[in-house]
């Protein structure tokens, strides 16, 4: 069993450093799946002063590996980090039980590492702040924060600054954002064109809003010879998602999200169409890592809002400028995007808007792949 001491999110004071007042939306709870999953952080660039409460709440849970992780599940089964004693925190009381199937009632209750961010103490010491969430079945809520490694004293005022969270644009960061690869065909008003031929001002066919103007195209080459398998592009072979879907092999970055749909999707997740990261589709036949490539060139296309575009008869996402997406770009490219969306630098990435569809978490994607495989086997 493991025990973590958590500062209740309701006892933490937060001040926006740019305005000197409390933000209208609590950034601790507004963000889910942040740095832990390389998705968007919704925090503004000017930063926050975060003052911890005077006391902590102990949360007890099973721990098989000594690591507090996100999504301790496999398919629809909880495999670790199950709550072992009742706890009252963040205005709710969570009742421990022995259930392990996520869709059962009562649902299993478990603890997660929702995201991590670096924060700085008044003496310059850097700490890793971990947002702790408690899940009940498929629902979860950020209830407070703890620290990975050394922890500051209770009542300490910590500073979060964008520049402390941004790192150099390494290969690992590039592949953790949505990217197409050179040679990918995209549907436009002039037919199906290779992505490397697209320019600012071109009109692309989108699923939700018809023809939309591209406001930015970016690209970057990566040498893959020294990269781990997890860093390599994902290949979606022709027909891997259905008849002629896609109509030719498509290569994307591991984090690039693909649109899947159907009655079984709606039955599982309550939405007819959802987005799934390509790396979470590897359990499907015809989806694999490109282990032979020695170099890859990734491309991003940006619209005024997150869009779904057509790629070789397959629907997938455009670039969403979340914090991880932005941090993977060179400084001059980041500044170019900020010139297009100045409010992102001032107010944070929530101003760009949400993703075009619900995005499945890893364990939800595993459930989709399992059900999809049964359909093909029938």
**299-358 pLDDT, tens digit each:** 989 999 999 999 999 999 998 876 555 655 666 666 777 777 776 665 555 567 778 999
Are 305 and 297 a contacting pair, CB within 8 Å?
no
Q: What counts of helices (H) and strands (E) characterise the chain? A: 8, 26
Confidence (pLDDT) at 376: 56
Pair 133, 238 in one domain? no
For residues 255 and 143, state if they share a domain.
Answer: no
Per residue in 114-159, pLDDT (tens digit) is: 888 888 888 888 888 999 999 999 888 999 999 988 999 999 999 8
Local structure of 353: helix, strand or coil: coil
Among the listed residues 111, 329, 368, the one whose alpha carbon sits nearest the alpha carbon of residue 220: 329
Q: Are residues 249 and 310 in the same domain?
A: yes
Q: Are 72 and 148 part of one and the same domain?
A: yes
**Count of domains for the chain:** 2
Q: Is a pLDDT exceeding 90 seen at residue 197?
A: yes
310 DSSP β-pair partners: 315
Number of Cβ atoms within 10 Å of the Cβ of 349: 24
| Minimum mean pLDDT range among 51-60, 88-97, 285-294, 350-359 | 350-359
pLDDT of 257 above 90: yes
Q: Give residue 271's pLDDT.
A: 94
Domain end among 147, 165, 183: 165
Please indicate, yes or no, whether residues 55 and 200 belong to a single structural domain of this protein. Answer: no
Last residue of a domain, one of 110, 139, 165: 165
**Which of the four pLDDT bands, split at 50, 70 and 90, describes residue 57?**
very high
> Which tokens hold the place of 41?
């952080």
Instruction: For residues 119 and 148, state if they share a domain.
Output: yes
What pLDDT score was predicted for residue 232? 84
Q: Are residues 213 and 142 in the same domain?
A: no
pLDDT band at 37 (very low <50, low <70, confident <90, very high): very low
H or E element that contains 326: helix 323-327
Same domain, 158 and 227: no
Judge if 159 and 184 occupy the same domain.
no
Encoding tokens for residue 36? 């832990």
- Order of strands across the sheet with 250-252? 216-223, 295-302, 180-181, 250-252, 234-236, 287-289
pLDDT at position 91 over 90 = yes
Nearest to 214 by CA among 242, 195, 231: 195
Helix H or strand E encompassing 250: strand 250-252
Confidence of residue 258 (pLDDT cuts 50, 70, 90): very high
C-alpha distance from residue 204 to each of 91, 181, 302, 317 (Å):
47, 17, 11, 12
8 A C-beta contact, residue 236 and residue 286: yes
For residues 13 and 86, give the distance between their C-alpha atoms in angstroms, rounded to a whole number. 26
Q: Which two tokens stand for residue 232?
A: 């390599």
pLDDT at 128: 86
Q: For the domain that residue 341 is a member of, what is the CATH number?
A: 2.170.16.10
| Mean pLDDT within 89-105 | 95
Do residue 251 and residue 277 come from a single domain?
A: yes
Residue 146: other Cβ atoms inside 10 A: 18
181 and 226 belong to one structural domain: yes
Note whether 327 and 236 are within 8 A (CB). Answer: no
Tell me the sheet residues that pair with 101: 77
Does residue 145 sit in the same domain as residue 217?
Answer: no
pLDDT average, residue stretch 74-103: 95
The answer to whether 240 and 249 are in contact (CB under 8 A) is: no
**Which backbone phi and psi does 196 adopt, to 5 degrees?**
-70, -15
Tell me: pLDDT of 222 over 50.
yes
Asked if residue 89 lies in contact with residue 144, where contact means CB atoms within 8 angstroms, the answer is yes
Select from 131, 165, 199 the last residue of a domain: 165
List the domain range (segments joined by +) for residue 185. 171-377
Between CA 185 and CA 183 the distance in angstroms is 6
């Amino acid at each position: 069993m493991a025990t973590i001491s958590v500062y209740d999110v309701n006892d933490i004071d937060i001040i926006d450093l740019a305005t000197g007042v409390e933000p209208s939306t609590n950034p601790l709870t507004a963000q889910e799946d942040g740095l832990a999953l390389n998705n968007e952080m919704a925090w503004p660039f000017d930063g926050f002063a975060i003052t911890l409460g005077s006391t902590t709440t102990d949360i007890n849970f099973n721990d098989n590996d000594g690591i507090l992780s996100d999504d301790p599940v496999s398919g629809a089964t909880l495999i670790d980090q199950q709550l072992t004693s009742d706890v009252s925190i963040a205005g709710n009381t969570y009742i421990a039980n022995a259930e392990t199937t996520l869709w059962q009632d009562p649902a299993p209750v478990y603890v997660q590492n929702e995201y991590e961010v670096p924060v700085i103490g008044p003496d310059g010491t850097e700490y890793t702040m971990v947002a702790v969430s408690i899940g009940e079945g498929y629902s979860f809520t950020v209830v407070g924060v703890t620290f990975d490694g050394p922890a500051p004293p209770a009542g300490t005022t910590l500073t979060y600054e964008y520049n402390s969270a941004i790192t150099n644009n390494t290969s690992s960061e590039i592949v953790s954002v949505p990217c197409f690869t050179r040679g990918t065909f995209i549907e436009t008003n002039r037919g199906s064109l290779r992505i490397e031929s697209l320019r600012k001002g071109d009109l692309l066919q989108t699923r939700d809003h018809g023809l939309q103007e591209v406001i930015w195209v970016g690209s970057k080459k990566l040498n893959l010879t020294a990269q781990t398998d997890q860093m390599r592009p994902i290949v979606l072979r022709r027909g891997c998602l259905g008849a002629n879907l896609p109509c030719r092999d498509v290569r994307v970055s591991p984090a690039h999200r693909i649109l899947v749909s159907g009655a079984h999707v709606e039955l599982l997740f309550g939405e007819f169409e959802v987005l799934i990261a390509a790396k979470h589709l590897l359990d499907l036949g015809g989806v694999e890592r490109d282990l032979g490539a020695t170099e890859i060139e990734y491309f991003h296309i940006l619209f005024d809002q997150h869009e779904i575009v057509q790629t070789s008869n397959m629907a997938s996402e455009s670039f969403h400028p979340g914090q991880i997406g932005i941090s993977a770009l060179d400084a001059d490219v980041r500044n170019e995007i900020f010139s297009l969306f100045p409010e992102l630098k001032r107010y944070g990435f929530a101003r760009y808007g949400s993703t075009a569809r619900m995005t499945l978490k890893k364990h939800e994607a595993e459930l989709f792949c399992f059900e999809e495989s049964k359909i093909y086997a029938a």
